[in-house]
A and B are shown apart, each in its own frame.
Chain A
Amino acid sequence: MAYINGIGIISPQNTLPGSDFLEPVVEHTSEFLKSIEPVYKSYIDPMASRRMSRLIKMGISSAKICVQDAGIEMPDAIITGTGLGSVEDTEKILGELSKEEKFLNPTPFIQSTYNTISSQIAINLKCHQYNSTYVHRCFSLESCLIDALLQIEEGTAVNVLAGGIDEMTLNHLSIIRRLGLWKREAIRNLDLWSSKVPGALAGEGAAYFIISEERTDKTYACLAAVETLYKPESTDKTAETVVRFISENGLKPEDVDLVLMGNNGNEEHDRICNDVIEHALPSASHMVYKHLCGEYHTVSGFALYLAANILRKQFIPSSLPCLPKSPGKLQNILIHNHFWNTDHSFILVRR
């Protein structure tokens, strides 16, 4: 157990410093939900940023926003989760390789490695402490959070900067579309739940958190526990895992006030989300959120941002309608996410 004492998030919604909590909601009519980026010069020296890809600039900026939000000087560890890493740089290097291998530009090659994000954050913050990167598809952020909790529990760190980041490019979108994962045409994000176009709505974003040993006046919420479940045998098995997970954290199913569900607009995928929660937590209020941020490997970061803010503000924005009704109290929130029924994750956030 640890406390979320700072948040820095760049997303397709108004989540930059100074904006209200998801107000006004941002509408996109596009093939994927692109992040609203800050003025990078406010966070990164232009001479340094000139060779950084968009993903790295998003990572450094959200990390710096997070550290500023927590009001700490320096984190004791930097941990990043990313499902795909620098897609843009990887595409550049592969494009050059496919043309003529002897003319490889060094910059995209250097930055196409996954751990560039965490290391560039460390260079920018001048942080010489523990630095790690998890690249485990839809478990990337969850693995990062588990590491952060272990660092706190073992006393090796007091404040851990932990976050998840992924970017989407049109090229990557078109390749993955062939597998039938993403929608084949642009839709309005706020129409996601009524859209007849099959597939999920793709998105992207960066979300960093200061995970701390102690509660302070900056605390948003308590990060109680994180668990992952790989390739469950059945929906019943997944539901059993949910009940056991919350029970191990001292809660009964009726104690969970709100579930942030991982629905993404793909019918088959969403049925699994609905069945799991219906079986495990039939009385809990639940909401969907991916019409705001889209689907990506580290999307749980957006959900954790939502849960932490809902608990601190004791308020649910109008863009996130609850079913069957708004919860009477907001003490315990469960985030359930899954990636094509292979990688299920559960994050328990408490007030």
Chain B
Amino acid sequence: MDELINKLKKEVITQLNLEDISVDDINPDAPLFGEGLGLDSIDALELIVLLEKNYGIKIEDPKDGKKIFYSIRTMAEYITEHQKKA
């Protein structure tokens, strides 16, 4: 899980062009939106594309997004769960 979390942090930094943020600056349990990294709705779209492109995961129900993208850890858990099912 830790390996996936670190990989995800790097991918999020690249995808969202978070220039001044390093892997160590991101708390895996901190909220991605609002507080924490302070991401917005366009970032949410970028994260949806990231999951689909890098992990082959398509989010069918938009309502699930809030839970999946709460933090880096929830994203990693969702990916792991999805990969087990596949």
Contacts and interface: CB of A to CB of B under 8 A. Distances in A.
Interface of A: 46-47, 50-51, 102-107, 110
Nearest to B17: A50
A339 to B, nearest CB: 34
B18 A106 contact: no
Given A51-B42, A110-B42, A104 B49 contact: yes
Contacts of B49: 103-106
Question: What are the nearest 9 A-B pairs in CB distance?
Answer: A106-B45, A50-B17, A103-B53, A105-B49, A50-B19, A106-B42, A103-B49, A51-B17, A105-B46
Interface residues of B, number: 13
A107 B42 contact: yes
A102 B65 CA distance: 18
B38 interface: yes
A103 B52 contact: yes
25 contacts: A46-B19, A46-B20, A47-B38, A50-B16, A50-B17, A50-B18, A50-B19, A51-B16, A51-B17, A51-B42, A102-B52, A103-B49, A103-B52, A103-B53, A104-B49, A105-B15, A105-B46, A105-B49, A106-B42, A106-B45, A106-B46, A106-B49, A107-B42, A107-B46, A110-B42
Interface in B1-39: 15-20, 38
B53 to A, nearest CB: 5
For chain A, what secondary structure do more than half of its interface residues adopt (helix, strand, loop), or is it mixed?
helix
A316 to B, nearest CB: 41
B64 to A, nearest CB: 19
A104 B45 CA distance: 10
A103 B15 CA distance: 13
Contacts of B53: 103
A102 B49 CA distance: 9
A103 B50 CA distance: 8
Q: In this complex, which of A46, A102, A104, A107 has the most chain B Cβ atoms within 10 angstroms of its Cβ?
A: A107
A50 B49 CA distance: 18
A105 B15 CA distance: 9
A46 B42 CA distance: 16
A102 B52 CA distance: 9
A103 B49 CA distance: 6
B63 to A, nearest CB: 20
A39 to B, nearest CB: 13
Nearest to B41: A106
A106 B15 CA distance: 11
B80 to A, nearest CB: 22
Contacts of A107: 42, 46
Contacts of A104: 49
Contacts of A106: 42, 45-46, 49
Given A46-B20, A105-B49, 16 more contacts: A46-B19, A47-B38, A50-B16, A50-B18, A50-B19, A51-B16, A51-B17, A102-B52, A103-B49, A103-B52, A105-B46, A106-B42, A106-B45, A106-B46, A106-B49, A110-B42
